[in-house]
Amino acid sequence: MAKIGRYVWLHGWQYRATERAHRRYVASMQGRRPVRVVFLAMSVSMWRYQHLYDMMSKDNRFETHIVLSPSIDYAAEQQLHDVQQLRQYFDTRGIAYVDCDLDGCPFDIRGRLNPDLLFYPQPYEHLLVAEHDCTSFYDRLICYYPYAFWTSTGKWSYDFHFHNLAWRLYYSTSLHLAEAQKVATNRGRNVRVVGYPNADDYLRGHYADVWKPYRPSTDAVCKRLVWAPHYSIVEEFGLVPRSNFLWMAPLMLQLAQDNRSTLQIAFKPHPRLLTELYKHPEWGKARTDAYYEKWATLPNTQLETGGFVDLFMTSDAMIHDSGSFAVEYHYSRRPVMFVSRDMDAILATQSDFGKKVYALHYVGATEDDVRNFVTDVVQGGEDPLRPSREEFFAHYLLPPGGKTVAQNTIDDIVKSLHLDEP
């Protein structure tokens, strides 16, 4: 048997064995209430489960717990920052959680909570401490909302061990289910389509104004622009580098200064960018910290490292080179630019859904492209892609069944675990 064939056969056997184990575990839960549910919270920006947690915590069929667990791939400073933000996020909402001890022994989830269902923030193994990592819980019922509105295809997106060993993957659209059926070793048998989890936030209809109070010296209209750079400064895991940060960094600050009477810019970096810049030979900790601090302190700029729904929905436009934001910003139905010097390489990695998404973007390959987008589209209102964005929103961004994503998810769990049966 060829090497690749043997690899697929061995893991296919493992995946089928896990499916059988899941069926036995579900059968063992028959008649037992409540179902013990653990939500792993890695960072505020990766937290997708608030609406689901809210609904489950009010349902006596479930016993819910939130455990703070930052990514061990991140620098110590980033881990501390993420935990502090999570504490503030849950404290301000009066939500109980199991805190994270960054210096001592990690909380024993299995021994203390004995969970039935675990909801993970990302589909990657060895991302959390061993006591919290998904590799320690494949014998239980692992569930997952994508942390991103996935546009790419291939193994990275649909065929890691996690994708095949989780009990339920709650995906965003029927096109994502079709990709899983085509790419995943288990042919997407554990996928259910419920909508994108952040849709419940984007569609709520009321948003906090999170922009810094700013009164320019002139009477001109001041537009609000989000800049959201990805972390992938260098090629990793064979993936195309997305980040244009190294050449965009001085340009975006200059744009803020050149347009300080008519433009506010929010710097919304990927959470991992800080860690990658700390390691970069031309940046390092001191330069990175100084750069971030400048965004936090200039009169018409701000640094955003937490949630982003309110930021997006109260903005006028966005410039980015991210993956998920390529879709998510379309909930605002406002103009957006994708920055890339090799768009063909980006599109070669995309699913059919992803190609539809990028067709709705203005593309920035040069500094002039970026400057013209700010001048003509953001400030000038020239936006020929608006009708296409509206059509895309209506067709792809609304959850199925006329329900919320959280309700669709609970409906599937209740049906799958026979929770309405005696």
| 409 shares a domain with 369 | no
3-state helix, strand, coil in the chain (%, to 5): 45, 15, 45
Q: Quick count: other Cβ atoms within 10 Å of Cβ 142? A: 23
Neighbouring residues of 211: CB distance < 8 A, sequence distance ≥ 6: 224, 264, 266, 302, 311, 314, 315
Report how many domains make up the chain: 2
Give every CB contact of residue 349 below 8 A, 6+ residues apart in sequence.
152, 153, 154, 239, 240
Answer yes or no: is 136 within a domain.
Answer: yes
Distance, in Å, from the CA atom of 117 to the CA atom of 67, rounded to the nearest integer, reads 13
The answer to whether residues 175 and 235 belong to one domain is: no
Query: Is 207 domain-assigned?
Result: no
In a domain, 211, yes or no: no
From residue 333, alpha-carbon distances to 196, 202, 336, 389 in Å are 16, 11, 9, 6
Within this chain, do residues 161 and 245 fall inside the same structural domain, yes or no?
no
Same domain for 276 and 364, yes or no, is yes
Owning domain of residue 25? 3-202+400-416
**249 lies in the same domain as 126:** no
Residue 184 sits in the same domain as residue 257: no
Question: What span, in angstroms and rounded, lies between the C-alpha atoms of 134 and 191?
Answer: 18
Output the tens digit of pLDDT for each of the chain's 422 residues. 343 333 344 466 788 888 999 999 999 998 889 999 999 999 998 899 999 999 999 999 999 999 999 999 888 888 999 999 999 999 999 999 999 876 667 999 999 999 999 999 999 999 999 999 999 999 999 999 998 888 888 787 899 999 999 999 999 999 899 999 999 999 999 999 999 999 999 998 899 999 999 877 667 679 999 999 998 886 554 455 678 999 999 999 999 999 999 999 999 999 889 999 999 999 999 999 999 999 999 999 999 998 899 999 999 999 999 877 999 999 999 999 999 999 998 898 888 888 999 999 999 999 999 999 999 999 999 999 999 999 999 999 999 999 999 999 999 999 999 998 76
Q: What is the pLDDT of residue 103?
A: 65
**Within-domain flag for 192:** yes
Q: Is the dihedral of CA 336, 338, 343, 345 positive or negative?
A: negative
pLDDT score recorded for residue 7: 38
Q: Are residues 228 and 376 in the same domain?
A: yes
- Decide: residue 178, CB within 10 A, 0-12 exposed, 13-18 middle, 19+ buried: middle
The angle subtended at Cα 29 by Cα 125 and Cα 126, nearest 5°, is: 5
> DSSP 3-state assignment of 163?
helix
The predicted pLDDT at position 296 comes to 97
Structure tokens at 327: 């879709």
Same domain, 16 and 112: yes
Together in a domain, 133 and 270: no
Identify each DSSP E strand in 31-174 by its residue range.
35-41, 62-68, 117-120, 141-144, 168-171
d(CA 422, CA 415): 13
Q: CB-based contacts of 118: which residues, under 8 Å, 6+ apart? A: 37, 38, 39, 40, 109, 134, 137, 140, 141, 142, 143
- Edge-to-edge strand list for the sheet holding 35-41: 62-68, 35-41, 117-120, 141-144, 168-171, 191-193
| Amino acid in the structure at residue 263 | L
Structure tokens that stand for 140 in this block: 């239980």
The reply to whether 290 falls in a domain is yes
For residue 58, what are the contacts with CB-CB under 8 A and spacing of at least 6?
none
In a domain, 208, yes or no: no
**Which CATH number belongs to the domain containing residue 386 in this structure?**
3.40.50.2000
| pLDDT at position 71 | 93
Examine the domain organization and report whether 388 and 406 are in the same domain.
no
CB 292 within 8 A of CB 274: yes
- Is residue 328 situated within a structural domain? yes
Q: Which long-range contacts (CB under 8 A, 24 or more apart) does 293-298 make?
A: 294/253, 295/253, 295/267, 298/253, 298/256, 298/257
Which three-class secondary structure state does DSSP give residue 409?
Answer: helix
pLDDT for residue 9: 42
One domain for residues 180 and 275: no
Residue 194 and residue 273 in one domain: no
43 lies in a domain?
Answer: yes
